[in-house]
Chains A and B, each alone.
Chain A
């Protein structure tokens, strides 16, 4: 967002608002977002900086309700039943100062038969000691579809603690596709915890990508319960760690109903003194259900590496390209 635009929108706001919004827009850009998209009249937008809602723009069929919390914001996001939101909804969360706490209590209610896509960017570009705690609840009602993509940018100091803890309920025939990506800058400490309940004929796809360096710590806990008949679930985890970074992936898939089909797919690449682990847990409580898992942990695939070396790349370039591709 340009400064002129910010100043134009600042009319009637408290002093400092425009500067804070401009800083957030820069942070948003660093997280991979397009600040200009937040200005489009047909794009629903919610911008939260620390404990302030800096901008909120609704479009027909979507409603935001926000209340202040100590150190954060409580937000309810409703998509009306049967409505298809044509343009992706843009969410921007962040803390621009070096220190701070941001607690986001977010509830997403996607009405029956509705369809929406959310692009969330979480940016902490200057963080030295920042804690971002997302407590989310997502309800995808019968026949509804939600695609939720979340990208993080944490700056280069590793001073961020990020705790996305989300409970998801997908009702009959619903669809929930989510991608969480923390691949730019340092991770710091990440503790991702998703608990997903999947109803009859509903579908869940969860993709988690992270790249840890130096002393970063990555913890991913995903539990998908395929409770309804013919429910389908996929978790795909792509993590790379190098230096002294540590990643711990715990994925659980439960096949609890007839015809349920689940698959967990985890790839972790380890370089230097880093350490990675994956603990998949498969639970099947119905003799007509099936859950599978695959995991590859360790160095990069030799054949992939040699294919790139044969084009003249050196080993560091080739490994970096493979990792960047995997977490892209």
Chain B
């Protein structure tokens, strides 16, 4: 098995008096689409911000290793220059920055063809969108696609995609899935964050996240079945319980008691 490009070890993040990430462990390998499934509030986006180094999301403990190097103390820019980037769930709007320029930002000496290709990959016509501002005049779905195009154009080594399908019309979902697969085929590791199990089909590996930790890592179909059959029903019953008790109850139901199959394979 190829060595992981991203290795998260015992990551803990506490914000505003709440434990957001708890002893979180996760590996993502080059060329793989790793889906992170979890209900709303499970800590998926917080993990994305912590990986990117966003303000207020510096871990309290644990390590984030990228290509074997601990990047926990690096700035966002430094991480981006190592090849890590993030597509925000709700991308920022920019007055006066044309879509074409925004898409080419992560490229050294961006040329028109690269921008056109990236926009084409998210089914946006460069002639129509290239000179429009990436501002409030774009619909939520259009802005989302522009964000994905910018990540795609950058050819990152690790792309963190936070809910890339939200706000995208059903007809375009196929394009987005194709784009995600294309990124992996081109060698990027993709951490695909979603609460929609349908996207797990795009993945080569899937993890389930709950209460700020990873409960299960393994086959996407197995994860998908568990997620739809167990996680959703658990939501109501566990919501009010102390975390430790809730987690123990969840773990009882998980194949392998929450251990990563990959970790088991690696141990063998």
Residues of A within 8 A of B (CB): 238, 301-304, 306-315, 321-322, 324-328
Task: Given A302-B55, A303-B88, check contact A309 B94 (CB 8 Å).
Answer: no
Report how far A324 CA is from B79 CA in the complex, Å.
25
Residue of B80, B95, B96, B97 touching A310 (CB-CB under 8 A): B80
Smallest CB-CB A-B distances: 7 pairs: A325-B96, A328-B96, A311-B106, A309-B76, A325-B97, A312-B80, A311-B105
Cβ of A310 and Cβ of B76 under 8 Å apart? yes
Chain A residues whose C-beta falls within 8 Å of the C-beta of B96 in the assembled complex? 324-328
Nearest B residue to A325 via CB reads: B96
Task: Pick the contact of A303: B85, B92, B150 (CB < 8 A).
Answer: B92
Q: How many A-B residue pairs have CB under 8 A?
A: 59
Number of interface residues of B (CB under 8 A): 25
CB distance from A214 to the nearest CB of B (A): 23
Beyond A306-B52, A306-B54, A325-B97, whether A313 also contacts B105 by CB under 8 A is: yes
CA A301 to CA B91, docked complex, whole Å: 12
**Residue from A304, A306, A327 with most neighbouring chain B CB atoms (10 Å):** A306
Give 29 pairs: A residue, B residue, CB < 8 Å, sorted on A.
A303-B88, A303-B92, A304-B93, A304-B94, A306-B52, A306-B54, A307-B92, A309-B77, A309-B80, A310-B76, A310-B79, A310-B86, A311-B80, A311-B85, A311-B105, A311-B154, A312-B80, A312-B105, A312-B106, A313-B105, A314-B77, A321-B97, A322-B94, A324-B96, A325-B94, A325-B97, A327-B96, A328-B95, A328-B96
Kindly state the separation between the CA atoms of A311 and B77 in the bound complex, as whole angstroms. Answer: 7
A123 and B123 CA atoms in complex are apart in Å by: 43
- Chain B residues with CB under 8 A of A315: 77
A interface footprint on B56-87 (CB within 8 Å = 1, 0 otherwise): 00000000000000000001110111001110
User: What are the residues of chain B within 8 A of A309 when measuring CB–CB?
Assistant: 75-77, 80
What is the bound-complex CA distance between A313 and B55, given in angstroms? 16
Which A residues touch B133, using CB under 8 A?
Answer: 325
Q: How far is the CA of A327 from the CA of B94 in the complex (A)?
A: 11
Q: Which residues of B contact A313 (CB under 8 A)?
A: 77, 80, 105
